[in-house]
Structure formats: C-alpha cells, structure tokens
Amino acid sequence: ACRGAALDQGVFVETDSGQPEPASFSEYLHIPPNTAVMFACSPGYGAFLNPAGSMFLQALLVMLAGEERCLALSRMATRLNAAVALGCQARGTYEGCKQMPCFVTNLLRDVFPFSTEGEPLPSMDKRGGMEEEEERQKPTAS
C-alpha cells in the first residue's frame, strides 16, 4: 500500500498564489478509458497499519457495510478520503502523521458498483442533499 517513504505531518498551509508543478499528475493521464483507481495514499507517501490492519481498508469495509455502498463510486471515494484523512492518525513513533488516499478517474457517468439489485439508488434532491429514489418518484396530490 505504500507509495513512498515520506510522512505527512498534517500541516495546514494557506496560500493565495502558486501553481502546481506541470508534471504533478502526468502519470495519471495514461489510465485506460472508463477507469477508476484508488490508492491508499498519495504518491511519495507511506500508508499506515495499526494492529487491526490497514486504516484505508478498515474505512472502506465500514463504508461497504453501511448505507454508503449505495452511493456513486466518485461520491463514495470522496467520503472514503474524508474518513481516512480526518479519522485516522498515527501514534507512537509517527505521532500526528496523517494519511490521504488518492482517487483518480476518467469515468464520464455515475456508476454504482456496490448497490444490490432492488436497492433504491440515492439521488440528489433540490437542496443538494440525498433522498431515496423511491421517495422522489412518489406521485404528489394536486
């Protein structure tokens, strides 16, 4: 799961200028069409294990066991990023170091790979929140 030896200290940096390095994402431009790839950590950084195993895999399994499994893959990956980045922190020798997963995709449509057949898919309501597809399709009384 490690993609390097660097450790992320979780420091907040505020900037109003500066451009990313031109080649910073070049390795991701060559993924096959209609592909989604998720790494446990960003390039050049290490992923952490605790006695129960990989923090990334633990967070993924919690999501797949919960209602998040019904979400579109891109939305699920965003929530997984947040769960690992905000909910996991190293202790001991690497006290305070963080892990940030990396999600790369060139999908053009929402995909729902973990929804079971007959399970209502979530959709966006007018306020930007989630609502069940069944609720959205109920007829309204005039």
Q: For 87-101, what is each residue's pLDDT tens digit?
A: 888 888 888 888 899
CATH topology of domain 33-107: Alpha-Beta Plaits (3.30.70)
Residues 6+ apart with CB under 8 A from 116: none
pLDDT, one tens digit per residue, over 97-120 is: 888 999 999 999 999 999 877 666
Structural contact between residues 99 and 48, judged by C-beta atoms closer than 8 angstroms: yes
pTM value is 0.64
Annotated domain spans of the chain:
33-107
Structural contact between residues 101 and 139, judged by C-beta atoms closer than 8 angstroms: no
